[in-house]
Chain A
Amino acid sequence: QVQLVQSGAEVKKPGASVKVSCKASGYTFSTYTIHWVRQAPGQRLEWMGWINAGDGVTQYSQKFQDRVTITRDTSASTAYMQLSGLRSGDTAVYYCAREVGFTFGRFDFWGQGTLVTVSS
C-alpha cells in the first residue's frame, strides 16, 4: 500500500534552516510528483512547491521561492523540503503529498505531517 512517512518534529531558532524528509513506499517513486504543503496553526493549507521525482524538476510558490529547496533521492525513495531563514511565522505542520492524474492533478496520498516550531 502507498505510504508517505515523514521525519519527526523539529524545533528551530529564528534564522535557522530545517530539512524535512518524506519517504515513499508501495509504488514506484520516480513516476510521480511530490508536493509540499504547510499549515500554520488554525490556518489554511498553503502550497509550497513540487518536485518531479523522475527528472528532479521543481516549481515553487512565489511566496517561498527565495527560501525553499525541494530535492529527492531516488535511491532512497525520499523527497526533502528545506526551508531557510526561519521566522516565527514558519511555525506550522509541513506535509508532503503525492500528485496523481496526468491531466487533472490532485493529491491522493499524504504524509502524516511534520511539526516545525520556530522559537527563540
Chain B
Amino acid sequence: DIKMTQSPSSLSASVGDRVTITCRASQGISTYLNWYQQKPGKAPKLLIYATSNLHTGVPSRFSGSGSGADFALTINSLQPEDFATYYCQQSSTTAWTFGQGTKVEIK
C-alpha cells in the first residue's frame, strides 16, 4: 500500500495566520490526492479533491497544490472554525490510504 506522511503532526496558529500542511506519498500518485477536515466526534468532511479542486461549499481560503509525491494544503487567514485535524488521502490505486493527520490548534 502507498504510505502517506503528513507534516507537521500538529501546529499552533492564531486567527488570521496562513497555515501550510504538507503530505508526501511513498510513490508517485499523480494528482490523486484529497484533503479532509475532521472535528472531534464528527465524520471527516471533504475539502479538496484531485489536489487542487475545492469541494462544493468550501471557502476559498482553502487551497491545494502539488503533484507526483509532494502536496500541500494551505489555509489563508485562519478562522476560528478551521481549528481541526486535517487528513490527506490518496486514490491513485484501488487501495486508498490516509495520512496520519495534522492537528491545527489555537495559539
- A residues at B contact (CB < 8 Å): 35, 37, 44-47, 50, 59, 61-62, 95, 97, 101, 103-108, 110-113
Which A residues are CB-close (under 8 A) to B49? 101, 104, 106
Is B44 a contact partner of A47 (Cβ separation < 8 A)? no
- Given contacts A105-B91, A106-B91, is CB(A45)–CB(B98) below 8 Å? yes
| Interface segment out of the listed B10-18, B19-27, B29-37, B70-78 | B29-37
- Given contacts A62-B1, A104-B49, A107-B46, is CB(A47)–CB(B95) below 8 Å? yes
Q: 3 closest pairs, A vs B, by CB?
A: A110-B43, A104-B50, A105-B91
- B residues at A contact (CB < 8 Å): 1, 31-32, 34, 36, 38, 43-46, 49-50, 53, 55, 87, 89, 91, 94-101
- Given contacts A44-B101, A95-B43, is CB(A104)–CB(B95) below 8 Å? no
Is B31 a contact partner of A104 (Cβ separation < 8 A)? yes
Which B residues are CB-close (under 8 A) to A111? 43
Which A residues are CB-close (under 8 A) to B89? 45, 47, 106-107
Q: Is the interface of A mostly helix, strand, loop or mixed?
A: strand
Is A107 a contact partner of B44 (Cβ separation < 8 A)? yes
Is A44 a contact partner of B98 (Cβ separation < 8 A)? yes
Is B46 a contact partner of A108 (Cβ separation < 8 A)? yes
Is A47 a contact partner of B97 (Cβ separation < 8 A)? yes
Which B residues are CB-close (under 8 A) to A106? 34, 46, 49-50, 55, 89, 91
Is A108 a contact partner of B55 (Cβ separation < 8 A)? yes
User: Which partner residue on chain B sits nearest A111 by CB separation?
Assistant: B43
Which B residues are CB-close (under 8 A) to A62? 1, 95
- Given contacts A47-B95, A110-B44, is CB(A61)–CB(B101) below 8 Å? no
Residue of A37, A95, A106 ringed by the most chain B CB atoms within 10 A:
A106
Is A107 a contact partner of B36 (Cβ separation < 8 A)? yes
**13 pairs, CB–CB < 8 Å, chain A vs chain B:** A35-B96, A44-B100, A45-B101, A47-B95, A47-B96, A47-B97, A59-B95, A95-B43, A97-B43, A101-B49, A104-B32, A106-B55, A110-B43
